[in-house]
Amino acid sequence: MTPYLSVVIPVYNEEANLEALFARLTKALDALGKSYEILFTNDGSRDRSGTMLRDFHRRRPREVRVIDFNGNFGQHMAIMAAFERVRGEVVVTLDADLQNPPEEIGKLVVAIETGHDVVGGYRRNRQDTFFRRYASRLINALRARITHIRMRDQGCMLRAYRRRIVDLIASSGENTTFIPALAYSYAANPTEVEVEHAARAAGESKYSLYKLIRLNFDLMTGFSVVPLQLFTLFGMVLSVLSGLFVAYLFIRRLVIGPEAEGVFTLFAILYFLVAVGILGLGIIGEYIGRIYQEVRRRPRFVIREVVEKLDG
């Protein structure tokens, strides 16, 4: 029987949270009264997560499917692998750390059933550090200006999608992408709902500062060429100003004669322009790097095994 609802959960070293997650998730989904499946993607966990996921399948073989990667390919690739295999008409993504309660899934399903094709969650009373909260606000504002994709809370992975949107995402074939933003670019009638947020009960966040920066670079360069355009505009303005400054120095030399007092000012201007040039090379390098990753055509992820009960 084809399920109505598919819940996709990427898992990486979450053994301390998995038992509570499974108990709460199945209880919440049973209460909805709709047929469902749960797709766990084990993203190369080094703890007992893989063993526990197989045990969940043994307990509920009809509802639980496990995709087992042979290495760590990242959260978004873990979700993408599940998107390629979901069977439900409504697809929900959920993190395994229990910071977004499984009991909130019903809110997203209701919003989907009212006619929306993408439903994003935004966290109420976000239980993260001061730095993570306000850095996220800054990135949200910057991303909205550059990409014109409006998401109140891009870091919340509790989201729901119509199957049509999921199929479009899975067919994109990109090596690096940001799934919520990609979904919004395909959506005709998206919306957002408020969801609860809890402090992490066990374990630690898998997103270091570097990974968060890396993710936002992918977001900016994957959905807009505005950084390149801004840098080009900035370079044009600097060229005009530099020309005017050279003309000023030439006239000054004719009027006053040779002088050595301004040499440090000239060095400061030179260092500034060199720094701007290096920044520009970095921006261009980001785009070239994305092109390089795509043209290699290497597999985005490698699946070791899919644990599921086949019909018949």
Rg (CA), the chain: 25
Query: Hey, which residues does 102 pair with through a beta bridge?
Result: none
Q: Are 23 and 101 in contact (CB under 8 A)?
A: no
pLDDT for 286: 79
What pLDDT, on the 0 to 100 scale, is given for residue 301?
Answer: 87
Residue 1's pLDDT is what? 77
Q: Which helix (H) or strand (E) holds 240?
A: helix 226-256
Q: Write down how long the chain is.
A: 312
pLDDT at 146 (0 to 100): 65
User: Helix axis angle, 163-170 relative to 75-83, nearest 10°?
Assistant: 120
The whole-number pLDDT of residue 261 equals 63
Q: Where do the structural domains in the chain lie, given as residue ranges?
A: 5-206+300-307, 226-296
Question: 3-class DSSP state for residue 200?
Answer: coil
From CA 118, how far away is CA 108, in angstroms rounded? 9
> Letter for the amino acid at 295?
V
- Phi, psi (5° rounding) for residue 40? -95, 135
Q: What is the pLDDT of residue 208?
A: 60
The fold of the 5-206+300-307 domain, in CATH, is Spore Coat Polysaccharide Biosynthesis Protein SpsA; Chain A (3.90.550)
Per-residue pLDDT of the chain (312 residues; tens, 9 = 90+): 799 999 999 999 999 999 999 999 999 999 999 999 999 999 999 999 999 999 999 999 999 999 999 999 988 899 999 999 999 999 999 999 998 999 999 999 999 999 999 999 988 876 556 556 666 666 666 666 666 667 777 778 899 999 999 999 998 877 777 888 889 889 999 999 999 888 777 766 655 666 666 666 776 776 677 777 777 888 888 777 877 877 877 787 777 776 666 666 777 778 788 888 888 888 888 788 878 777 777 788 899 999 998 765
Spatial distance between the Cα atoms of 42 and 59, rounded to a whole number of angstroms: 17
CA distance 32 to 103: 10
Angstrom distance (rounded) from CA 69 to CA 53: 13
The DSSP secondary-structure symbol of 197 reads: -
Neighbours of 259 (CB within 10 A): 10
How confident is the model at residue 275, as a pLDDT? 80
